[in-house]
Amino acid sequence: MILCIGLAADPTFLHGLRALAAAALPFTVVDLPTLALYGELTVPLDDLGATVIRTGDGETEVVLDEVRAVWCRPLNVSAAAPSPGAAHRADGQYQALCRVLEAVDVPVLNPPWREATNSAKLLHAVALAPVARWRIPRSCLTNDPDTARAFVRSCPRGTIVKGVGATKTWVTLYGSEHERRLPRLRHSPALLQERIVGPDVRVHVVADRAFAESIRSPDVDYRTVHGANRYAALSLPQAVLEGCQRLVDHTRVPFLGVDFKIEETTGDWYFLEANSMPCYEGYDVRADGAISRALLDWLTAPHMPGAVRRPSGPFRYTT
């Protein structure tokens, strides 16, 4: 049995559950809000594998040692709890589950705290790019308006503005509205990057497999555009494939959504981030379910000790 931990309101989580159901694989679902309101989590400190999850429906009881693998997309739902007591309970369960899933000897896709640098985007890029041997765009993280202005002037092709942390934000092109807001930087820093003009690339890495797609969009953030983007499967350069393998080995995270920009005039690749909890359902639909099949293969492979499981043989690109 595969244990699935996440939110019933998360479209990516639901997409994964549908793939499991279509493959007729046995699985049990733990919805974290329901667990906080009605369920129970018991963690024996001397034996984490004996952790018990009771979902609150009166029927479902899961012992971690008895599951084949865990697929998790955990979010801390305490901020949306209906009462202080429920908020405290939800936060405690989230913190406990994250710690248990990091330490228990059951295959976990993905250990929720295994790759924590993405909580600070520039640290994340600076930490992982050398591992993969990739370059990143020129960047400036600052809360000083004068430093920001100087950086913007040094970017002849434009400047991209991003949030600095893990909270989802939209990428925008620096313009007059940002110039007017520069004094606010003193209270809320921003990440500025030199604009790379060219297509975006998303590579989904599942252990030893990689699924790549290029995206050409009329906007700097293709996620904000519906209907006008152009998507195409992409063959990856060997340096990118090898870098993806190094990232999986270094982070010990088997499933990553790796983002790049390709400079259109030079063909140079620039690494942006490697998301360890990617929203992959749209890419999977365009790939005819290939990403889901790779995830199911990982979850059902023979058990090996430790959280990262890699089949023997060379890293390979799969369309």
Domains, the chain, in order of start with CATH, read: 2-106 (3.40.50), 138-194 (3.30.1490.20), 200-317 (3.30.470.20)
Q: What percent of the chain has pLDDT over 70?
A: 94
How would you list the strands of the sheet with 190-194, edge to edge? 139-142, 190-194, 159-162, 172-173
Q: Which residues are 202's β-sheet partners? A: 213, 259
Report the SS3 class of residue 261.
strand
Q: What is the pLDDT of residues 270-288, one digit of tens each?
A: 999 999 999 999 999 999 9
User: pLDDT tens for residues 97-116?
Assistant: 999 998 888 999 988 888 87
pLDDT over threshold 60, residue 180: yes
* CA 87 – CA 91 distance, rounded (Å): 6
Q: Are 303 and 195 in contact (CB under 8 A)?
A: no
Tally of CB atoms within 10 A around 60: 13
Rounded distance between C-alpha atoms, residue 49 and residue 65, angstroms: 5
- The answer to whether 29 and 72 have CB atoms below 8 angstroms apart is no
CB 258, CB 278: distance < 8 Å = no
Confidence of residue 58 (pLDDT cuts 50, 70, 90): low
Q: Are strands 255-262 and 269-275 parallel, antiparallel or unpaired?
A: antiparallel
| pTM recorded for the entire structure | 0.90
Percent of the chain having pLDDT more than 90?
Answer: 80
Q: Nearest Cα to 3, choosing from 92, 87, 100, 90?
A: 100
pLDDT digits (tens, 9 = 90+) for 132-169: 999 999 999 999 999 999 999 999 999 999 988 877 88
pLDDT at residue 80 greater than cutoff 80: yes
Q: Which pLDDT band, with edges at 50, 70 and 90, does 305 fall under? A: very low
pLDDT at 304 over 70: no
Task: Name the one residue in this structure whose structure tokens are 């252990």.
Answer: 207
Task: Show the tokens assigned to 198.
Answer: 């060219």
Summarize pLDDT for 81-96 with one digit per residue, the tens.
999 999 999 999 999 9
- Mean pLDDT, residues 232-237 taken together: 93
DSSP, collapsed to helix, strand or coil, labels residue 95 as helix
